[in-house]
Amino acid sequence: MIEIALTLEELVQKTKIKFEEHYGRPARWIVVAPGRVNIIGEHTDYNGGFVFPMGIERYTVLAADLPKKTVHDTVVVKCLRFNETAHIKLSQITRAEPRWANYIRGVIRGFQEKNIQTPALDVVMDSTVPLGGGLSSSAALEIATGTLIEAVTGKNVTQEEKALIGQKAEHEFAGVPCGIMDQFISVMARKNHIMLLDCSNHETQWTEIKNPDVSFLVINSNVKHQLASGEYGKRRSECETASRIMGVKWLRDADMELLESFEDEMPVIPYRRAKHVITENIRTSKAASALSNSLLEETGTLMYESHQSLMSDFEVSCVELDYIVEISKKIGLSGGVYGCRMTGGGFGGCAISLVETKMIPHISETIEREYKEKTGLKCSIFASRPADGARVIEQ
Ligand code: GLA
């Protein structure tokens, strides 16, 4: 069964009502930022390569007002999802509990470093972005926070600066050495468009998805393996090792010919990591142009190849994700599946599938049933059109 989340309007309405219930007056600012799914181009961002993500119709919403009496310099955030409240002291922003508030703390700090001072605030936060599913719930929170600070202070940074503040918050306040994809797409996403981002110079190209007969299905394996956080950093440094050995700034500047010429002197692990990144960059550019020309089968084939490479050369998949891709392949073109692959950092989380819209009920029913038979687990599936990026809804 396809999962239906609250629409953006419903989520906003709910958050507004909760704000009023909690603080006894209406909110003055409402901002929103979407989660994302990456169609192809995985583990390429921190190598200066290409990514091809879109915003999804799952959002983080913040409702806020200045406190009635500013007796202290605190941002109070009531999180509806965890039913927890964070008190963030503005004069002393450091990592602290609750941990979800570190993303907010990091962004407040990032703005302070640009001399933009967040005032004391009362905030309510809610979200429909699944947690821990590789759909960038943390980037959505970072970017929503940045958007709120801009609205409240009336001081804007550039889109790029806002994304980079989010990335820095992730590095310094959550300890995840991520690339730039998640924050860039949460800021810049466009309705009905997928963004080809060149992570070496931040140039973008947009592919419009007009055809209602094709859809993107997000299939959440509902597993998150413990390995995830440590292995991400390890992959990053293995890629850096490969670049160093080849004498290039980053893997974006290498090609297969160069890599093959180093086959004898490069240890096998960095070699395979580099092979994934180099071939993934080619696949990503090809997929963006294939999809722009409505070449769905070609796009799908590239998605399957990407999964294979992430599984065997980059080693960030897991059996649950492999099953989802296997089942999708078995359903095949005749059943309405063009392609499928793991998406995001890996070791669990979601797969993304390009499908024929009218076949969604059949596809999701088959994947759910067979995934359950193989793993004993329930996966969750939803469809999303490419959604707009972060914005102020009310002020
Ligand atoms: C995570 C990171 C991104 C990117 C992906 C893998 O989502 O936050 O920067 O590296 O993994 O493509």
Whether residue 191 lies inside any domain: the answer is: yes
Q: What was the pLDDT predicted at 69?
A: 77
Q: What is the pLDDT of residues 320-373, one digit of tens each?
A: 999 999 999 999 999 999 999 999 999 999 999 999 999 999 999 999 999 999
Whether residue 67 lies inside any domain: the answer is: yes
Burial grade of 215 (CB within 10 A; 0-12, 13-18, 19 or more)? buried
Shared domain check, 230 and 170: no
Whether residue 169 lies inside any domain: the answer is: yes
Residue whose CB lies within 8 A of the most ligand 1 atoms, among 178, 280, 316, for a mutation test: 178
Shared domain check, 334 and 293: yes
Place of tokens 């905030």: 123
Whether residue 2 lies inside any domain: the answer is: no
Place of tokens 């292995």: 231
Q: What was the pLDDT predicted at 70?
A: 65
Mean pLDDT score across all residues of the chain: 96
Tell me how many domains the chain contains: 2
Q: What was the pLDDT predicted at 178?
A: 96
- For 294, the domain range is 214-384
Alpha helices in the chain (DSSP H): 8-23, 102-113, 137-153, 159-173, 181-188, 228-246, 256-261, 268-292, 296-312, 319-331, 360-375
Q: What is the pLDDT of residues 184-226, one digit of tens each?
A: 999 999 999 999 999 999 999 999 998 999 999 999 999 988 7
Shared domain check, 143 and 285: no
Q: For residue 352, give the CATH number of its domain.
A: 3.30.70.890
Q: What was the pLDDT predicted at 132?
A: 84
Shared domain check, 368 and 286: yes
Whether residue 123 lies inside any domain: the answer is: yes
**Predicted TM-score (pTM) of this structure:** 0.97
- Return d(Cα 129, Cα 374) in angstroms, integer: 26
- Return d(Cα 82, Cα 80) in angstroms, integer: 6
Shared domain check, 14 and 159: yes
Whether residue 120 lies inside any domain: the answer is: yes
Shared domain check, 218 and 195: no
Residue 1: band (very low, low, confident or very high) from pLDDT cuts 50, 70, 90: confident
Helix (H/G/I), strand (E/B), else coil: 128: coil
Q: What was the pLDDT predicted at 3?
A: 87
300 lines ligand 1 (CB under 6 A): no
Q: Which residues of 106-143 are buried (b: 16+ CB within 10 A; e: fewer)?
A: bbbbbbeeeebebebbbbbbbbbbbeebbbbbbbbbbb
Q: Which residues of 248-287 are buried (b: 16+ CB within 10 A; e: fewer)?
A: bebbbbbeeeebeebeeebeeebbbbbbbbbbbbebbbbb
Q: What is the pLDDT of residues 27-64, one digit of tens each?
A: 999 999 999 999 999 999 999 999 999 999 999 999 99
Q: Quick one: average pLDDT of 74-93?
A: 96
Shared domain check, 257 and 195: no
Residue 229: band (very low, low, confident or very high) from pLDDT cuts 50, 70, 90: confident
Q: So which residues are the catalytic ones?
A: 182
Shared domain check, 235 and 115: no
Nearest atom of ligand 1 to the alpha carbon of 42? 12
Whether residue 3 lies inside any domain: the answer is: no
166 lines ligand 1 (CB under 6 A): no
Q: What is the pLDDT of residues 158-174, one digit of tens each?
A: 999 999 999 999 999 99
Shared domain check, 330 and 374: yes
Give nearest CA residue, ligand 1 atom 2. 178
What does the angle CA 206 – CA 211 – CA 216 come to, to the nearest 5 degrees?
Answer: 75
**Contact in structure between 143 and 166 (CB atoms under 8 Å):** yes
Q: What was the pLDDT predicted at 225?
A: 81
Helix (H) or strand (E) holding 393: strand 391-394
Asked whether the predicted pLDDT for residue 227 surpasses 70, the reply is no
Shared domain check, 222 and 202: no
**Contact in structure between 384 and 225 (CB atoms under 8 Å):** no
Residue whose CB lies within 8 A of the most ligand 1 atoms, among 37, 45, 164, 232, for a mutation test: 45
46 lines ligand 1 (CB under 6 A): yes
- Rounded distance from Cα 181 to ligand 1 centre (Å): 6
36 lines ligand 1 (CB under 6 A): no
Q: Pairing relation of β-strands 74-79 and 121-127? A: parallel
Asked whether the predicted pLDDT for residue 230 surpasses 80, the reply is yes
- Return d(Cα 267, Cα 269) in angstroms, integer: 6
178 lines ligand 1 (CB under 6 A): yes
Asked whether the predicted pLDDT for residue 71 surpasses 70, the reply is no
**Contact in structure between 331 and 122 (CB atoms under 8 Å):** no
Q: For residue 162, give the CATH number of its domain.
A: 3.30.230.10
Whether residue 1 lies inside any domain: the answer is: no
Shared domain check, 222 and 184: no
Report how far apart, in Å, the C-alpha atoms of 367 and of each of 90, 219, 325, 372 are: 48, 9, 9, 8
Report how far apart, in Å, the C-alpha atoms of 22 and of each of 9, 28, 86, 101, 246 are: 20, 14, 14, 18, 58
Q: What was the pLDDT predicted at 19?
A: 98
Q: What was the pLDDT predicted at 228?
A: 67
Shared domain check, 245 and 196: no
